[in-house]
Amino acid sequence: MPSRASISTGLPRLDPFLGAFKAGTVSMIEGNHPFIFELLSLLAINAVTHLGKRVVYVDGGNSIDPYLIATLAKRSGLKPAAVLPQILVARAFTAYQLDTIISDRLDAVLDQAEPGLLVVARITDLFMDRAVAEKEALARLRRCVARIETSTLDRQLITVVTKRRRTRTPSSRALAVDEVLAKLPEEQISIERRKKGVRLRQHTRGILMDYVPLSIYQTTLDEFIGGGKQNG
């Protein structure tokens, strides 16, 4: 039986910890640290370059940064012009728009683009908007979750969904939103801000690691020699 397609971040110290992001699997990354966007950018670049596939990026939090992607592509010795056009972005500004993009229009885009990677960034932000009644927000979120799950399995996509971490005692609405999302990911990762760097938790395997992200303009010795010892 052929192995499933997979990608990784390309960061030697992190990839053994995070594991590969595999086709047919939904991975959830939770947290508020900007490092999440760097990870998403690296995965998008590697989907284009290593899989030869497009990326569909559904942005529910105005989070995608083409300049960051271009800079990371250059750092990898790639021309941004060869990468950026392969990343198809759909940006939503309301819960209704996000629901329409995912529930009603996503399949047509996937049929046309045939991507290897689907990213849904900050999926919960817009559904926490008090301008949308809680019951309606939860119903729309359930539709989105069902479509993401079905599309991932049917098309054997590598799917990464991100959500913010709650910094205060969660409201009943926040708890209900989290309950809807709880059964979606097969792999779950959280990233917490630390005094120095970040702490990553791989919840599926029950392991954690402390990591200090460097400036995108710097390179670690590990990246040169292709490996390194994990912290944990």
> Based on the number of CB atoms within 10 Å of its own CB, is 176 exposed (0-12), middle (13-18) or buried (19 or more)?
middle
CA dist 98 to 102, 144, 159, Å? 6, 8, 17
Largest CA distance in the chain: 53
Q: Could you tell me what percent of the chain has a pLDDT over 90?
A: 76
User: How much is the pLDDT for 224?
Assistant: 42
Q: How far is CA 141 from CA 49, 84, 180, 232, in A?
A: 32, 29, 7, 35
Range picked from 144-148, 185-189, 190-194, 211-215 for highest mean pLDDT = 144-148
Confidence at 209, pLDDT banded by 50, 70, 90 = very high
- Top-tier CATH class for 20-225: alpha beta
What would the two tokens of residue 86 be?
């392969």
Residue type, 34: P
pLDDT of amino acid 216? 55
What pLDDT was estimated at residue 228? 37
What's the whole-number mean pLDDT along residues 192-208? 91
124 within 8 A of 177, measured Cβ to Cβ: yes
pLDDT, one tens digit per residue, over 92-107 is 999 999 999 999 999 9
So what's the pLDDT on residue 218? 53
Q: What is the pLDDT averaged over residues 11-37?
A: 94
Please determine, for residue 219, whether its predicted confidence score (pLDDT) is greater than 70. Answer: no
Provide the strand spans (E) within the chain: 6-7, 21-22, 25-31, 55-59, 87-91, 117-121, 158-163, 187-193, 198-202, 207-211
Give 215's pLDDT tier (boundaries 50, 70, 90): low
Q: Is 112 helix (H, G, I), strand (E, B) or coil?
A: helix
Helix (H, G, I), strand (E, B) or coil at 162: strand
The domain locations on the chain are 20-225
Query: Any idea how long the chain is?
Result: 232
User: Two tokens at 5?
Assistant: 């397609």
The reported pLDDT for the residue numbered 1 is: 45
> Which residues, 6+ apart, have CB-to-CB distance to 208 below 8 Å?
199, 200, 201, 202, 232
pTM, whole model, 2 decimals? Answer: 0.90
pLDDT of residue 24: 96
Tell me, what's the pLDDT at 152? 97
Q: Is the pLDDT of residue 116 over 50?
A: yes
- Name the pairing type of β-strands 55-59 and 21-22: unpaired
Percent of the chain with pLDDT strictly greater than 70: 91
pLDDT at 176 over 50: yes
Cα dist. 108→104, 130, 223 in Å?
Answer: 8, 30, 39
